[in-house]
Amino acid sequence: MVKYKLGGLFPKALLVLSIVSIVPIFIIGYHVLGVNNRLLNNELLEKQQAVASRLVSILRNNVTRQANMFSIFTDLHTDFGGHRFIDQADIDYLRERNPGITHISVLNGNGQQLFYSSEDKSRFSYAAELDNILTTCVMNGRDYVGSVKRADNQMYALMAFPIREHLEDKEVTGVLVVELDLADLGESLALAYPPDLQILVFASDGTIISYSGAPHGLALTAQPELKEKALYIERQLGARRAGEVVLPDGQRLLVASAEVAQAHWTVFVMQPADQPTALLLEDTFSSIVDILVIVVGMILFVVIVSYLVIIPITRPLGRLQAAAIRLREEDNYVPTAQDVEIPHNEIGDLASVFLDMAATLKQRKAEVLKSQQELAQMNRTLEKRVEERTRELKETTRELVKTERLAAIGQMASIISHEIRNPLAVISNATRLIKTIVSPKEPKLIKQFGIIDAEIKQASSIINEVLGYARSRELILTAIDLNSYLKEIILSFPVSGSIHIKEALDPESVRIKVDAEEIKQAIRNLIANAAEAMQDKGTITVGTKVGKNVVCIFVADEGPGISPELRGKIFSPFFTTKARGTGLGLAVVGKAMARHKGKIFIHSQEGKGTCFELYLKIYRKPGDTSYGAGS
């Protein structure tokens, strides 16, 4: 049997049924219509805010993608660009690969233009914004997104990015200034505009960038009326992001806004403010039958439920609903008794149960989050271990294959040395004996003996190269003065009369800790290859470039260069493009650098020459008594 409380809903309903009149019908109707109108207004504003956020995301993604591309470009041309600063070839290449770039300039730290690359149709000028560019990029070290301009029925945006000599440097040594065509952005916006809403996109100075119905999504011509409208709406909204605005002509609009922070662009999404009321009335009074049904329903409702019962129901339920919505939207919110109304009836019981449920839900959520974090940490640990084991397995496999191959080469080299050197010695001895017997006046025989001696020397050289590559020994590391070491190698290298070896040593001579004989053989091989590439005629440049932690040893020639398809093969053993040779000269260089944990880079232009760069760690600089002491 159902028991009713003395102050419950049912006794109160019985009490007020006798005093119900027609007045509550109009009061309730007016109240419901107002509430529904406000709710519909809020729903429409939420929809507009969602559209504004989506459009801002498109704008922000476009600006961020372009900014990231240029930031990565400047970073890659610090320590890894092969030269100390971005040059003309770099920006020409960047503009050719990105059709949206109509102009690109490189400035020094004082704002003076060093060089530029531009299309003929460019109307580029950054003079008015130069102070802002230097302040943002040089003084603050941040990217700069500037003004938007129109020219030749197109729209462009100005951006600038700081250039540093090294990635870890704080000092900015230059600025990369870029003019970008916004055609792609316009197409993206045109596709994203909903047909039932009005859209305005404008910059901080009021320049209209895009609007609903704009050709190709961009305001390619000045729009003074839209600019005035946008500035007026912005002033009325103030700090609000959404709300109702009344224009000077009396038109009322529902407006939602969002901002692209990096570019200081604002998006307005608008529709007439009378739209919610029209929709509500259209749905409510769609027919006479509907009106009659509504009137009869209201009368029945007033007859059944009294005014005094509605108030105690709607007020606590409204606060309970607000607490439930807040609990849904805020992660760390826990409702308390002050947030809800707890009357002494069934609704109060419901509110008490709701508070208990919210507290329990908070506890369960914390436990789930903790479990998720522990599981995520465990997954990261397992993934890291798998990656480490996989990397170790690959390295071990690579070393095992390399060791087995070297062992096979060594065994083959020993067999070649034993089986070929002895017959060569016999041939050489027999040749010398025959020379003593034959008459020295026979020049043909003397020429043939010379050919035999040369071929014996060539065969012995091949055997020595194979044995040298296959032989494996422990490194004998010695700290050496690099400039003196290279001068000794250059002086002792045999060159023909038509080959000239030029020194280009860095004035700062550093010390490196290497196996002197192994590195010496690698450098001699590079010089010998350069001489052969130039066919024993021209200049070979041997020099150094000292960095912060590493030093570069380079050998450059004036030969025909190396084609791109051959650069990945030249360090492979027994690969050669010569008519005669073992293909082990550069393989010895690659092996030596791998054993010393160094790096090799090749810069080559066909018909202009090749430069091999060997990068080794600096052991000690002049006057430095601590650097490299632990190495």
pLDDT tens digits, 240-260: 888 888 888 888 888 888 888
Neighbours of 25 (CB within 10 A): 16
User: Residue 531 contacts by C-beta under 8 Å, 6 or more apart in sequence?
Assistant: 495, 496, 499, 540, 557
The string of DSSP codes covering 113-168 is EEEEEE-TT-----GGGHHHHIIIIIIS---EEEEEEEETTEEEEEEEEEE-SSTT
Quick one: pLDDT at residue 417?
63
Q: Tokens 């849904």 correspond to what residue?
A: 328
Quick one: pLDDT at residue 553?
93
What fold characterizes domain 40-275?
Answer: Beta-Lactamase (3.30.450)
Per cent of the chain over pLDDT 70 is 72
pLDDT surpassing 60 at residue 138:
yes
Quick one: pLDDT at residue 36?
64
Reported residue count of the chain is 631
Distance of alpha carbon 161 from its chain centroid, rounded? 15
Closest CA to 344 of 7, 11, 14, 3: 7
Distance from C-alpha of 285 to C-alpha of 432, rounded to nearest angstrom: 124
Quick one: pLDDT at residue 59?
81
Secondary structure of residue 261 in the 3-state scheme: coil
What's the rounded mean pLDDT across residues 480-489?
A: 91
- Top CATH class of 477-617 equals alpha beta
What's the rounded mean pLDDT across residues 339-352?
A: 79
Q: What is the 3-state secondary structure (H, E, C) of 421-479?
A: HHHHHHHHHHHHHHHHHCCCCCHHHHHHHHHHHHHHHHHHHHHHHHHHHHCCCCCCEEE
The string of DSSP codes covering 355-397 is HHHHHHHHHHHHHHHHHHHHHHHHHHHHHHHHHHHHHHHHHHH
User: Residue 520 contacts by C-beta under 8 Å, 6 or more apart in sequence?
Assistant: 485, 489
- Taking only the tens place, the pLDDT of each residue in 434-482 is 767 765 566 766 677 677 776 676 666 666 666 666 566 678 889 999 9
Quick one: pLDDT at residue 56?
83
Q: Give domain limits for the chain.
A: 40-275, 395-470, 477-617
Closest CA to 516 of 495, 489, 490, 552: 489
Question: What is the pLDDT confidence band of residue 279, given thresholds at 50, 70 and 90?
Answer: low
Amino acid at 374: E
Quick one: pLDDT at residue 616?
93
CB 342 within 8 A of CB 316: yes
Amino acid at 516: A
Distance from C-alpha of 148 to C-alpha of 129, rounded to nearest angstrom: 12
Distance from C-alpha of 421 to C-alpha of 548, rounded to nearest angstrom: 48
Quick one: pLDDT at residue 1?
37
Question: What is the pLDDT confidence band of residue 68, given thresholds at 50, 70 and 90?
Answer: confident
Where are any strands of DSSP class E within 486-558? 499-504, 511-515, 538-546, 550-556
Q: Tokens 């003309």 correspond to what residue?
A: 88
Question: What is the pLDDT confidence band of residue 552, given thresholds at 50, 70 and 90?
Answer: very high
Distance from C-alpha of 326 to C-alpha of 565, rounded to nearest angstrom: 64
Neighbours of 576 (CB within 10 A): 16
Amino acid at 443: P
User: Residue 587 contacts by C-beta under 8 Å, 6 or more apart in sequence?
Assistant: 469, 571, 572, 573, 574, 575
pLDDT surpassing 60 at residue 565:
yes
CB 148 within 8 A of CB 222: no
Return the minimum-mean-pLDDT range out of 103-107, 151-155, 415-419, 454-458. Answer: 415-419
User: Residue 15 contacts by C-beta under 8 Å, 6 or more apart in sequence?
Assistant: 306, 308
Helix 516-533 to helix 585-595 angle (10° resolution) is 150
CB 526 within 8 A of CB 555: yes
